């Protein structure tokens, strides 16, 4: 498409987890022209494509918006890191590549909140459409989708299986596929890796569409605002190379800038809470008070132990080992360079009376920080554990009409007592699991939190100082029909024509799991809605829940109590 052309059928803002999916699907029949705008640039860096290097792009300004929250009042006034992808593939190019759909009841919860048509039975066909599962398709898993999903190195390190066995000994289910009928339990973890490379949406969806004449990609483009005329989106104004450009649209503008970027861009365009916009010096175009509200995220902390056997990945953190791992990956695309190292996991309920899992484990056979540095000398392992169904809510609030000025981000983490209670369960239940017989030959001293952390008050204080974001901001432009909903169940912005939001910001509530998989599913289904196609037929696949969830926290008694 000639760069002289400036009118398109669709304009997509953001080439991230959702935007790349939309760019592919909206151009595949050749009937519509699409302009895809991305503030970042190329994703061809080895640090993006090599799975084991995941900590680097997340902490690099070139590839990620390095947002910070306001001081969080319930986390000792700490400012929390909130990186968001600023590169082709968006956050799917900087994330940990963990593939978790969420529990089936998470999506039923969406429908119950007013997002009609987004229950599990309607969402499952789109999860299947998106993926190629390494072990073949069935009623739950896809076998011909763009997104490659597997288990990395097939749990070659013995610590992975020991953790699963410990979970079973503690009385929980053994779950062979948590993305199928039963999430609850312990089993292998899945990741978006294909051929040893990160399977971002840029690799899976955008690259196959790049040669289509009806798709135009513009990188290093910062969108300033959506243009509105008589309550209809007619185009966007964006900046590239020091110049301001205008692109017009015949059908729709679609915001896929993420849970920070999309509400901020709506507010820059005069869409949102009138009082907030007035404070930022922005003329009101459309009163929509829910824009930026309902912000949610997952928190987690590291439970770290010394390892009694010389099997942990701490032995692979030296420069010589890293060089060998990187060289093998460059030559063969396999080995330790071709995994995110989170190869086993667990999903459990925090207490009796919780219907589906609200706690999640990522197991890592090493003890280190997110920046890839060693936590201590010697062998170790750690569990990333978090309470995944928070009650606390925050907001994304514009502070200036200058599009270069980031918004004010406040999650209000742990504001609600239920969330603090959930993290107390994280500490106590994890100790019980790790003290099962399967871990006896590996389990050394508890480094963090440390056995001196026992009472509710001590646990609360530890969590306030140690907890980190799991980097899952969402729900800031929620889908629904109530007064605070921003988009309707067809992803259209309430009260406006020609404007949609399609990304994790429109989740009504946050699922129990990592957000990349449900974001891709959402974009797949939204693409059919945008094109006016008949949605895929709903699934009738069964969902497994513990029949006695109201009376018990887990299916069986533990073999050994925590020490």
- 149 annotated among ligand-binding-site residues: no
* Domains in the chain with CATH codes: 10-101+199-293+473-537 (3.50.50.60)
Grouping H, G, I as helix, E, B as strand and the rest as coil, residue 347 is strand
Place of tokens 């070659």: 156
Active site residue 472: yes
Cβ(542)–Cβ(181) below 8 Å: yes
- 96 annotated among ligand-binding-site residues: yes
Could you read off the pLDDT tens digit of each residue along the chain, which spans 563 residues? 333 458 999 999 999 999 999 999 999 999 999 999 999 999 999 999 999 999 999 999 999 999 999 999 999 999 999 999 999 999 999 999 999 999 999 999 999 999 999 999 999 999 999 999 999 999 999 999 999 999 988 999 999 999 999 999 999 999 999 999 999 999 999 999 999 999 999 999 999 999 999 999 999 999 999 999 999 999 999 999 999 999 999 999 999 999 999 999 999 999 999 999 999 999 999 999 999 999 999 999 999 999 999 999 998 888 888 899 999 999 999 999 999 999 999 999 999 999 999 999 999 999 986 555 556 788 999 999 999 999 999 999 999 999 999 999 999 999 999 999 999 999 999 999 999 999 999 999 999 999 999 999 999 999 999 999 999 999 999 999 999 999 999 999 999 999 999 999 999 999 999 999 999 999 999 999 999 999 999 999 999 999 999 999 999 988 776 65
Q: How many CA atoms lie within 13 A of 178 on its CB side?
A: 34
- 13 annotated among ligand-binding-site residues: no
Residue 350 tokens, joined? 């925090």
Cβ(502)–Cβ(254) below 8 Å: yes
d(CA 563, CA 558): 13
Residue 139 tokens, joined? 């009623």
DSSP state of 202: I
Q: Where do runs of H (alpha helix) occur along 28-103?
A: 46-49, 55-58
- 87 annotated among ligand-binding-site residues: yes
CA-based nearest residue to 357, from 188, 533, 555: 555
Among candidate residues 245, 472, 494, 548, the one labeled active-site is 472
- 501 annotated among ligand-binding-site residues: no
For 251, other C-beta atoms within 10 Å of its C-beta total 15
Grouping H, G, I as helix, E, B as strand and the rest as coil, residue 521 is helix
Cis, peptide link before residue 342, omega less than 30° from 0: no
Indicate the burial class of 1 (C-beta count within 10 angstroms; 0-12, 13-18, 19 or more).
middle
Grouping H, G, I as helix, E, B as strand and the rest as coil, residue 163 is helix
């Amino acid at each position: 498409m000639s760069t002289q052309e400036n009118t398109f059928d669709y304009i997509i803002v953001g080439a991230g987890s959702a935007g790349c999916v939309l760019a592919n699907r909206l151009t595949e029949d050749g009937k519509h022209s699409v302009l895809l705008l991305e503030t970042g640039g190329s994703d061809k860096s080895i640090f993006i494509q090599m799975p084991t290097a995941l900590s680097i792009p997340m902490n690099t300004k070139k590839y990620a918006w390095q947002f910070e929250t306001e001081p969080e009042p319930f986390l000792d006034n700490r400012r929390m890191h909130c990186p968001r992808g600023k590169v082709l593939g968006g956050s799917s190019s900087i994330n940990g590549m963990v593939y978790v759909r969420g529990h089936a009841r998470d999506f039923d919860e969406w429908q119950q909140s007013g997002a009609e048509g987004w229950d599990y039975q309607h969402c499952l066909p789109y999860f299947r459409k998106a993926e190629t599962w390494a072990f073949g398709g069935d009623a739950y898993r896809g076998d011909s989708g763009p997104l490659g999903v597997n288990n990395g190195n097939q749990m070659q390190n013995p610590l992975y299986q020991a953790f699963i066995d410990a979970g079973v000994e503690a009385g929980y289910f053994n779950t062979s596929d948590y993305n199928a009928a039963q999430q609850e339990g312990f089993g292998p973890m899945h990741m978006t890796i294909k051929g040893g490379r990160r399977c971002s949406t840029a690799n899976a969806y955008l690259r196959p569409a790049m040669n289509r004449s009806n798709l135009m990609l513009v990188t290093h483009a910062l969108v300033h605002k959506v243009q509105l005329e008589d309550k209809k989106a007619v185009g966007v104004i964006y900046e590239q190379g020091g110049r301001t450009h205008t692109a017009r649209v015949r059908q729709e503008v679609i915001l896929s800038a993420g849970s920070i970027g999309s509400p901020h861009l709506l507010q820059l365009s005069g869409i949102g809470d009138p009082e907030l916009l007035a404070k930022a010096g922005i003329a009101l175009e459309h009163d929509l008070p829910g824009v930026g509200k309902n912000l949610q995220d997952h928190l987690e902390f590291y439970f770290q132990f010394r390892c009694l056997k010389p099997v942990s990945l701490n032995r692979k953190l030296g420069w010589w080992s890293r060089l060998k791992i990187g060289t093998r990956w460059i030559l063969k695309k396999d080995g330790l360079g071709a995994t995110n190292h989170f190869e086993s996991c667990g999903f459990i309920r925090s207490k009796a009376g919780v219907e589906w899992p609200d706690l999640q484990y990522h197991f890592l056979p090493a003890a280190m920080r997110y920046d890839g540095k060693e936590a201590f000398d010697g062998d170790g392992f750690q569990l990333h554990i978090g309470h995944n169904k928070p009650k606390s809510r925050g907001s994304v609030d514009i502070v200036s009409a200058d599009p270069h000025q980031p918004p004010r981000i406040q999650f209000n983490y742990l504001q609600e007592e239920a969330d603090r209670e959930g993290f107390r369960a994280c500490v106590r239940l994890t100790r019980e699991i790790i003290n099962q017989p399967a871990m006896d030959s590996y389990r050394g001293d508890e480094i963090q939190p440390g056995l001196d952390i026992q009472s509710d008050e001590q646990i609360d204080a530890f969590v306030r100082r140690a907890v980190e974001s799991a980097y899952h901001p969402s729900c800031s432009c929620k889908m629904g029909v109530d007064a605070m909903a921003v988009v309707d169940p067809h992803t259209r912005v309430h009260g406006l024509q020609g404007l949609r939001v399609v990304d994790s910001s429109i989740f009504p509530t946050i699922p129990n799991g990592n957000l990349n998989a449900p974001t891709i599913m959402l974009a797949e289904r939204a693409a059919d809605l945008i094109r006016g196609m008949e949605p895929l037929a709903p699934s009738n696949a069964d969902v497994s829940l513990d029949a006695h969830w109201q009376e018990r926290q887990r299916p069986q008694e533990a073999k050994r109590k925590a020490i």
